[in-house]
Amino acid sequence: NAGVTQTPKFRILKIGQSMTLQCAQDMNHNYMYWYRQDPGMGLKLIYYSVGAGITDKGEVPNGYNVSRSTTEDFPLRLELAAPSQTSVYFCASSPGVGAGSTDTQYFGPGTRLTVL
């Protein structure tokens, strides 16, 4: 099992550009999440998904979009990148069985994004 994988690892964007951060998991987990971690801070939830075709907003969704067409993939789209989106982005997944999201979340290695 590769677990949760994220690409790219690093990216520099110019203001106004768009990009998609890729996230995939091979553990057949139902739930997937996107977080951002600003320097010296904890993680904040951007979006989450409880299954293919179902997504919902987290704490800081503005400026982002997600889709979940398969169980395995949960891409995060940034439209019109802004300097405030400079951050490290983590994707996570959890089994979603029984206690649902209170399952342990397994994290990908992160994508470090800089917007200049």
Residues that bind other proteins (CB under 8 A): 31, 33, 40-45, 48, 50, 56, 58-59, 88, 90, 92, 99-102, 104-110
Q: Which is nearer to other proteins, 15 or 57 (CB)?
A: 57
> To 5 degrees, how large is the angle CA 43–CA 70–CA 34?
5
Query: What would the two tokens of residue 40 be?
Result: 């010296």
Q: Which is nearer to other proteins, 58 or 63 (CB)?
A: 58
Q: Which is nearer to other proteins, 35 or 81 (CB)?
A: 35
The least CB distance from residue 27 to other proteins, in Å, is 13
The least CB distance from residue 80 to other proteins, in Å, is 26
Q: Contact at 8 Å (CB) between 74 and 81?
A: no
Alpha carbon separation from 22 to 8, 25, 40, 41, 103 (Å, rounded): 7, 10, 24, 23, 23
Q: Which is nearer to other proteins, 82 or 88 (CB)?
A: 88
Q: Contact at 8 Å (CB) between 23 and 4?
A: yes
The least CB distance from residue 112 to other proteins, in Å, is 8
